[in-house]
Amino acid sequence: MWKIGNVELKNQVVLAPMAGVCNPAFRLIAKEFGAGLVCAEMVSDKAILHGNKRTKEMLFVDEREKPLSLQIVGGDRETLVGAAKVVDQCTNADIIDINMGCPVPKVVNNDSGAKWLLDPNKIYEMVSAVVEVVDKPVTVKMRIGWDEDHIYAIENAQAVERAGGSGIAVHGRTRVQMYKGKADWNIIRDVKQAVSIPVIGNGDVASPEDARKMLDLTGCDGVMIGRAALGNPWMLYRTVEYLTNGTLAPDPSASEKMRIAILHMDRLVALRGESVAVREMRKHAAWYLKGLRNSNIIKDAVNEQETRDGMANLLVGFAEQVEKSEADIEAKAV
């Protein structure tokens, strides 16, 4: 057990807040696969204050997902504080997270996300303003810096701590790197040594063994898993198992992967309606299929699906083909 503020976490595995992915359908699966904390996709402060239907849906938290961190993003003090109050008072999220790592131009050009990485003083001002008006713990997700010439990770983390922040997640890349190149775990270690609040490491954790290496190298309190969990919630389960008892659970069968993919789709249907959910499921199906033998042959068919049953039948049929093929190969080997 460890804590972020007054929130107890049962293990060190945290699902990253991925835009367009971490809605309640996927978050609940991540929780069922053992994640100690799940993070919702970022929501604009102005959108929260505007209060449209889509935004309200993004603020929904299923009790089964908890503990959950809900992430807000913005560049204006007044609107960020206002949005934080809404999350604090009107949602059952456990933690309010402030995004200062998103690298995309439309966010950065709005003086938010990764733009904050250049100004520790603004970080202190904005985080302290939020902390003052909410009861929930406030955390920050940040990158190590803007570019290799502007890495203020320690100064920025210390600003978060001085402002009353309860924890920090550090992605070991700069804004300029986006999602390319190698994450610098050494800087995550330096941040952990520079502050006394919990630090979660993020970046290049593609296997349970990577998670163990990150924790050992950096001394961080938790490990955040993002892209490696896309279509692969078993990564979360296997990492929890590996960190807990040192054993590597087996990879799932093709039919098990498709069973969870269909569960994911059915939860999306419940959230969005069939038409929208099936279109959204196309990208998830491609992730669930990744690594399965000859999965490229049905990619076009996946992207043509319009109905829940059509997608489900396609995925189940493909899994049966894969497992028959594997059985034939094993029989010939004998």
In whole angstroms, give the CA distance from residue 155 to residue 150.
11
Q: Where would I find the H helices in 8-149?
A: 24-32, 45-50, 53-58, 77-90, 105-108, 120-133
- CA 284 to chain centroid: 15
Q: What is the DSSP letter of 41?
A: P
Whether 79 contacts 116, CB under 8 Å: no
In whole angstroms, give the CA distance from residue 117 to residue 139.
15
Q: Smallest Cα–Cα separation from 229: which of 14, 10, 75, 11?
A: 14
Identify the active-site residue in 22, 39, 102, 220.
Answer: 102
- In DSSP terms, 37 is beta-bridged to 14
Whether 31 contacts 64, CB under 8 Å: yes
Task: Determine whether 90 is an active site residue.
Answer: no
Question: Annotated active-site positions, please?
Answer: 102
